[in-house]
Structure 1
Amino acid sequence: MKLPLLARIIIAIALGVGCGLLFPDWATRIFVTINSLFSNFLGFIVPLLILGLVAPGIADLGRGAGRLLLITAALAYGFTIFSGFFTYLSCDAIFPWLLEGAETMSISANETVKLTPYFTVEIPPLMGVMTALIAAFTIGLGMSVIRGERIKGVMDEFRDIITVVINRVIIPLLPLYIFGIFLGMTTSGEVSGVMEVFVKIIFVIFAMTVILLLLQFTIAGVITGKNPFKLLVNMLPAYATALGTASSAATIPVTLERSIKNGVREDLAGFVVPLCATIHLSGSTMKIVACSMAIMMMHSLGYDFGLMSGFIMMLGVAMVAAPGVPGGAIMAAIGLLSSMLGFDEQAIGLMIALYIAMDSFGTACNVTGDGAIAVIINRISGKKG
C-alpha cells in the first residue's frame, strides 16, 4: 500500500517516540548510525541539488516572453520576499512568549548524554552551498544570454538526475531519517517539548497564511480597483484543491479557471499561472522562516534582522524551480539552513518533519497567491499592452 509522504512521516514520528521508550541503547545506536550516514549524504547532495535545479530554472526564465516575464518574475519574487519579512516580524513578536520555556527545555535535554553512532563515513561535498548557488545563478544567466543549447541540454539532464535522486532515494528514506531523529530525542528526553512546540507552530502558521492571503489580495484589489474579498473568494476552489493534492502543478487547471473567473485574459492566465506555480513561493517561504526561527529559539541559536534578511533573500533564489520536485523547497533550503543559520543534523530533521507536516497549507497559499499575481499582471498588461 502506497501511503502519502505526510502519512509516512506521521507514522515515523509515532514509531520513533514509541520505540524510544522501549529500545535498548544498542538498538537506538543502529538508527543513530543510519541517520549519520544519511545526514552526510544530504550534505554531499545539497550543493548538487541547488546547481541542478536552480541553473536550468533561471535559464528557462530568461528564455520567456520578454518584458511581461520579467515583470511576473519580479512580482512573484517580491511577494515571496514580502512573505518572508512578514513572517519574520510576526514570529519575532509572537514566538518569545508563545515558546517560552522551549529554550530551557532544550538546554536541559542537551545536558543528557546522547548516544553516538557506531561509525561515521565522511562524504565531503564537491563545493560549498554558496558556491553552488552563485555557480547556478551564473550558469543559468549565461545559458539564457548565449542561447547555449548543448550546455542547456546537459543541465536539463543533470536536473533529471537530481530529480531521480530526490524521488527515489531521499524522499523514500526521509521517514526512516525522521524516525531516527525522534527515536534519539525520546531517548534524550526532548520529545515532549518538541511535540508541544510543533502544535503551536502549526496553528500560528495557519493563522499567518490567512492574513498573508488577505494582504496579497488587498494589494491586488488596490492596483486593479476590484473587490479583494471577492477576488480571494473566487480563488478558494484552488486553495481547496491544493490542500488535497499538495501539488502546485496538479492545481494549475483549477488556478487557471479561477483566475479567468477573476477577469484575467485566458491567454495571459495560461502564461502567468504555470510560471508562478514554479517561481512564486510565499507559502513555502512562510513555513521555512517560521519553523527555522522556532527551532533556533529551541536550540539557543541567536538571530537578528540582518541574518534573517540575508537568509530570506537567498531563500527566494534558491527555491526557484524547486516546487516541481516533491519536497524540493525544503531540500533546496537545507544548504542555507546549515550554512547561514548554523543548523545541525537534529535541527535539519525537525525542519523537514515540520515542513512536510504543513506541506499542503504552504502549497495552498502559493497557488492562491498566484491568482493575485495574475490579476495584477492582467492590469499591467492592459495598461501597457
Structure 2
Amino acid sequence: MSRVPLLVRIILAIILGTFIGLIVPEGAIELFATFTGLFGNFLNFVIPLIIIGFIAPGIASIGKGAGKMLGITAGLAYLSTVLAGVAAYLVARNLYPSILSRQDAGEMTNPEESLIESSFTVEMTPIMDVMAALIFSFLLGVGMTAVKGDTLYNVMAEFRSIIHKVIENIIIPLLPFHIFGIFANMSYAGQVATILSVFAKVFVMIIILHLIYLISVYGIAGALHRANPFHLLKKLAPAYFTALGTQSSAATIPVTLKQTKSIGVKEKVADFSVPLLANVHLAGSTITITSCAMAVLYMQGQATTFMDVLPFVLMLGVTMIAAPGVPGGAVMAAVGLLESMLGFSSVMVSLMIALYLAQDSFGTATNVTGDGAITTIANRLIGKKKDVETVHNEQAG
C-alpha cells in the first residue's frame, strides 16, 4: 500500500468513506469515529511539536536572515488573505442579487450535531496551544541566533529529525484512514448534504473563487520561477485533498511540507514557512467566511457597503491567526467580529456557523494549497534559489 501514491490513497479514502457511510450501520460508523477521534487527538498533540521542531531550528539556521524571512512570509500571507476577502465581497455584492433572489434562510442546524460520537476517547492534551508554540518557536529560534552556540541548536536539529520520523512513519500512513472515517461519518449523518443542497449556488461560487485564487497565486509563483503554474498546482494536490479530509491546515503540515519541497523550494525556507503559514495564511477561509457572511446578510435583507466590510476583512486576517488547527476554528475565531463589526444576531451567527462548517474543508484545502505558492514566492524574494523548473527536470530524469 505504501507504493500507492499518497494522492491516490486520499482520493480513494474520500470516495469510499462517502459511499460506505450511506450503507453501513451506526455501530460501524461509531467504530470509524473512535479511530478518527483518537487519531485527531494525536494530531492535535503533535501539531505544536511540529511547529517547534521546524520553526525554531529554521530561524536559528537562517541566522541574520530570519527577520527578513519572517517579515516577507508573514507579509505575503496577510496580503494574500486580505485581497482574497476583498475579492469575495466584490463578487458577492454583484452576484447575490441575482443568484439569491428567491432563497429563504429557513431553519438550519449545526451539521456537527448529528455526527456519530466515538465510543471512547483518550485525552492527549498538547503541551501548549498553537499560538504559544509559535511564540515559543520565535523566541527560541531568535535566542539561538543571538547566543550563537551549537549545543541547543544540535538538540533542536535532532528533535526535528524525530518529528520527521513521526510524520513519515505514523502520520502519513494513517492519514487516509483518518480521512475515510471523517467522510463516512459525514455521509452517514446527512446533515451536511442538506445544507449544501440549500446553499448550492453560494458554495459553487465559493469553490470557483477558491480555484481562481489558486490559479492566480500560482501564476505569480510560476512567473517568478519560470515554471508552469499548473505543474506546481499538481504537485500540491495531495495537500489539497488531505485538507479536504482533515479540515485542518495545521494537521496537513506534513503533507504540505513534503509537496512544497518537491517543487524545488529550499529546505530551510520550506521548514520555516510552511508551519508558519499553516497558522497565519487563511485566504481560502477568508473567502468562505466573507462570502457566507454576505449571503446571511443578504438573506436577512441587510445591505452592506465596501467600507463596512473592509475593516472586517482587515481584522479577520489578524484574528484568524488565533484559530486552532481544528475543523471550524476559523469561523469560531471570527464570531466576535461578525457580531461587533457586521451586527450579527445570535440567530445569524448560528446560521453562519452552519453554513461555514458544511464546507469548511474546501476553504482549508485552499489555505494549505496556497501555502505552497506563498512559500515559493517567498523563496524567490528572500534570495536567488534553484529554479523550480530545473528541479522538475532533474526529478523527471
- Could you say which TM-score interval applies, normalised by the shorter chain? 0.5 to 0.7
**Structure 2 residue aligned with 1:378:** none
SS in 1 for 2:29: helix
Which stretch has the larger CA shift, 44-53 or 2-11?
Answer: 2-11
5+ residue gaps, structure 2, are 237-258, 298-308, 335-352, 385-397
**Structure 2 residue aligned with 1:208:** 213
Question: Residue 337 of structure 1: CA displacement?
Answer: 7.0
2:376 to 343, 347, 367: 367
Residue identity opposite 2:50 in structure 1:
L
SS in 1 for 2:167: helix
Question: Residue 23 of structure 1: CA displacement?
Answer: 0.7
Preserved contact between residue 36 and residue 182 of structure 2 (Cα < 8 Å)? yes
Question: Residue 19 of structure 1: CA displacement?
Answer: 0.7
Aligned partners of 1:56 and 1:301: how far apart in 2?
Answer: 44
- 1:35-114 alignment runs, 5 A limit: 35-64=36-65, 70-71=67-68, 74-94=71-91, 107-108=108-109, 110=111, 113-114=114-115
**Structure 2 residue aligned with 1:325:** none
Aligned partners of 1:339 and 1:213: how far apart in 2?
Answer: 23
Aligned partners of 1:181 and 1:349: how far apart in 2?
Answer: 13
**Structure 1 residue aligned with 2:391:** none
- 1:97-176 alignment runs, 5 A limit: 107-108=108-109, 110=111, 113-176=114-177
Aligned partners of 2:63 and 2:103: how far apart in 1?
Answer: 45
**Structure 2 residue aligned with 1:239:** 229
**Structure 2 residue aligned with 1:260:** none
1:249 to 241, 261, 264: 261
Aligned partners of 2:169 and 2:62: how far apart in 1?
Answer: 27
Residue identity opposite 2:58 in structure 1:
G
Preserved contact between residue 32 and residue 117 of structure 1 (Cα < 8 Å)? yes
Aligned partners of 2:112 and 2:376: how far apart in 1?
Answer: 44
Residue identity opposite 1:367 in structure 2:
T
Residue identity opposite 2:119 in structure 1:
Y
Q: Can you list the C-alpha shifts for 1:354-378, whole angstroms capped at 9, x where unaligned?
A: 6558866653564367556658xxx
Q: Can you list the C-alpha shifts for 1:237-263, whole angstroms capped at 9, x where unaligned?
A: 2534423433333333xx8xxxxxxxx
Q: Can you list the C-alpha shifts for 1:310-357, whole angstroms capped at 9, x where unaligned?
A: 246679xxxxxxxxxxxxxxxxx727974994599xx99976676558
TM-score under structure 2 length normalisation: 0.63
5+ residue gaps, structure 1, are 218-231, 256-272, 316-332, 376-385
Q: Alignment identity in percent?
A: 27
Preserved contact between residue 129 and residue 336 of structure 1 (Cα < 8 Å)? no
Question: Structure 1 337/373 Cα, relative in aligned 2: closer, same or farther at 3 Å?
Answer: farther
Q: Can you list the C-alpha shifts for 1:19-71, whole angstroms capped at 9, x where unaligned?
A: 1110111111101111111122122222222221221112122255xxxx755
Preserved contact between residue 17 and residue 187 of structure 2 (Cα < 8 Å)? yes
Q: Can you list the C-alpha shifts for 1:157-176, whole angstroms capped at 9, x where unaligned?
A: 11111222222222222222
Question: Residue 7 of structure 1: CA displacement?
Answer: 2.3
Matched, 1:291 2:282: no
Aligned partners of 1:39 and 1:201: how far apart in 2?
Answer: 27
Preserved contact between residue 59 and residue 141 of structure 1 (Cα < 8 Å)? yes
Aligned partners of 2:107 and 2:151: how far apart in 1?
Answer: 51
Aligned partners of 1:102 and 1:298: how far apart in 2?
Answer: 14
Preserved contact between residue 129 and residue 335 of structure 1 (Cα < 8 Å)? no
Aligned partners of 1:348 and 1:340: how far apart in 2?
Answer: 8
TM-score under structure 1 length normalisation: 0.64
